[in-house]
Amino acid sequence: MTKSEIRFLEGPQSRWKELKFAFSVFREFIKGFRTLHFVGPCVTVFGSARFKENDITYQQARELSGEIAKLGFTIMTGGGPGVMEAANRGAREVGGRSVGCNIVLPHEQLQNPYLDKWVNIKYFFVRKTLLAKYSYVFVVMPGGFGTLDEYFEALTLIQTKMISQFPIIIFDVAYHKDIIEHIERMKERGTISAEDMKLCLFTDSIEEAVGHIKATIQKFDLKEARKPRSSWWLFEKQY
């Protein structure tokens, strides 16, 4: 996190500092909106930054994202290495569009080299909002705390109908076995409903995942979706 975000999360500050932080957040949102306004429709791929090129998860993310890009979707990621790089790379290799929403960290996470367009964001919560805002499908590859945070954020937004019932695809059943069991336990204890179990597809099959996504195109009429028009007075350019 940035120093300003750390101070903000430490509790009440002076009203002037709180106001300055609020304006800083507003600027980050505007920067993200301007950069990403014309990129969609997107499929956002979440996953660990720690996987290397020779790892099976990297290869699966690369292949799956390539197949998704062939459907006409823009592949959006957090912009970093690992699964994010693999997903952007897969899109680029088939001539698809590839964008990233990169987080600015103290150790400086640089954007991967397979991005056509990207934006660097200071605050995790702003970045997470942008990754959800432009996506019609969420793909969750193996990852760590951040990946699970992004997964459950998207799942909660869909469950509570804050966003449309877009598909969530969880790839690698063996890796997510304990999460599947815990979700089953939540259903048994009544903390989620049986209908909530239908919000996610757990699979090891790229073909099944792509087939599930194809239905999204028809359900939300994405091929016919109206594209935003650029405004010359805002110095905007179509992506």
- The C-alpha angle with vertex 116 and arms to 112 and 121, in degrees rounded to 5, equals 60
Q: Was domain 39-224 assigned CATH 3.40.50.450?
A: yes
Residue 238 pLDDT:
62
Omega into 41 within 30° of 0, i.e. cis? yes
pLDDT band per the 50, 70, 90 thresholds, residue 224 = very low
> pLDDT tens across 78-99, in order?
999 999 999 999 999 999 999 9
- DSSP E strands in the chain: the ranges are 42-46, 74-77, 98-103, 117-121, 135-140, 168-171, 200-203
Percent of the chain whose predicted confidence (pLDDT) is above 70? 90
Mean pLDDT of all residues in 16-21: 91
- In this predicted structure, what is the pLDDT of residue 225? 41
Say if residue 159's pLDDT is above 80: yes
Q: Where are the domains of the chain?
A: 39-224
Sign of the CA dihedral 211, 165, 228, 88?
negative
Listed ranges 48-57, 101-110, 222-231; the one with the highest mean pLDDT? 48-57
| pLDDT of 204 | 98
